[in-house]
Every structure is written in structure tokens, then in C-alpha cells.
Amino acid sequence: MTVPYFKNLTIDKIKAGFTAGDFSSEELTQAYLDNIKVDKTNSFISINENAIKEAKEADKKIK
């Protein structure tokens, strides 16, 4: 599943999306990481190498 509109999500919308099963933590994290890869501003100093692993762990806790 993709999260094409993730840039417009508020915290409340993210929570509602998780609750409704619209997307998972892993999917949302991947959407942000994919966006960082194509970002032309070079505004990211570092990226958590364990982000996907941590998102998967969060998904397990949510379920």
C-alpha cells in the first residue's frame, strides 16, 4: 500500500489511518524515506538506519 498523501497528514489523521487500517507504521515510514531519497534540498543530515525495523516493531505493538 502506498501513502501518496502523507505530506498532508496531521497527527490526528495518522492516528485515524492507523486505527482504520489505511496504512501501517512501516508503510508511512517507507513513504517518508522514499521522499527523502528524492528530496532536492539536501535538508536531511542523517536518517535512522533502523527506521523500518522500528516501524515494524511499532506495528506489532499497535495490533
pLDDT 10s digits, 2-47: 566 788 889 999 999 989 999 999 999 999 898 888 887 878 888 9
Residue 47 lies in a domain: yes
38-47: string of b/e by CB count within 10 Å (b at 16+)? eeeeeeeeee
Number of domain units in the chain: 1
Residue 14 lies in a domain: yes
**What is the domain range of residue 31?**
6-62
pLDDT score recorded for residue 4: 60
Residue 1 lies in a domain: no
Residue 48 lies in a domain: yes
Confidence of residue 55 (pLDDT cuts 50, 70, 90): very high
CB atoms within 10 A of CB 62: 10
Q: pTM for the whole thing?
A: 0.80
Residue 57 lies in a domain: yes
pLDDT score recorded for residue 3: 61
